[in-house]
Amino acid sequence: MTDKEDKKEPIKITDRRSFTSEGERRRTEEAPPEPERAETVLGEGFELRQGPGKPPRPGQPSVDFSSFILSLASTAFIQLGELEDPATHKVEMNLEGASQMIEILDMLHERTRGNLDPQEEEFLSGILYELKLKYAQKASRG
């Protein structure tokens, strides 16, 4: 061995996964600290600058998974003719658009399986059930 090899620091491996090897979600005190973010990241052909965090505007709710799902579901309910369109102030039915929104929500449900907390899972499943039921009723009427 050379002197250069003797002076190398040992490699440190930090497990940053959200789940333990047994499949249990790590408690917050077990989670490793977040790495510090650089102010500017230089890449090949781009430069990414860290901007100041924007607080939510007064009067606007923060965006979380449930509010995102509710937004998509509201669009589907509007297209099913269950709610008034806020832009046109009319109640119109668009089964093709509603079907597409239901498929998007169904895809999100499949792709997030096992990653949602119980309340989010129950909320998304319930919304999908209601939308599919309403869609079936409207589609069968013609």
73-94: per-residue pLDDT in tens?
Answer: 999 999 999 988 888 999 999 9
Residue 125 placed within a domain? yes
Angle between helices 118-141 and 95-111 (to 10 degrees): 150
pLDDT at residue 23 greater than cutoff 80: no
Mean predicted confidence (pLDDT) in 22-43: 58
Look at residue 37 and tell me if it is in a domain: no
Please indicate, yes or no, if residue 69 is contained in any of the structural domains.
yes
The distance from CA 59 to its chain's CA centroid, rounded to whole angstroms, is: 22
Q: What is the pLDDT of residue 1?
A: 54
13 vs 55, residue with greater confidence = 13
| 43 within domain boundaries | no
What does pLDDT average to over the chain? 79
Side-chain half-sphere CA neighbours of 110 within 13 A? 6
Q: What is the mean pLDDT of residues 123-140?
A: 93
- Structural domain including 122 reads 65-141
Determine phi and psi for 42, rounding to 5 degrees. -100, 130
**Number of domains, the chain:** 1
Asked, for residue 86, whether it belongs to a domain, the answer is yes
Name the residue type at position 78.
I
Residue 105 has pLDDT above 80, yes or no: yes
The Cα angle at residue 104 between residues 107 and 89, in degrees rounded to 5: 160
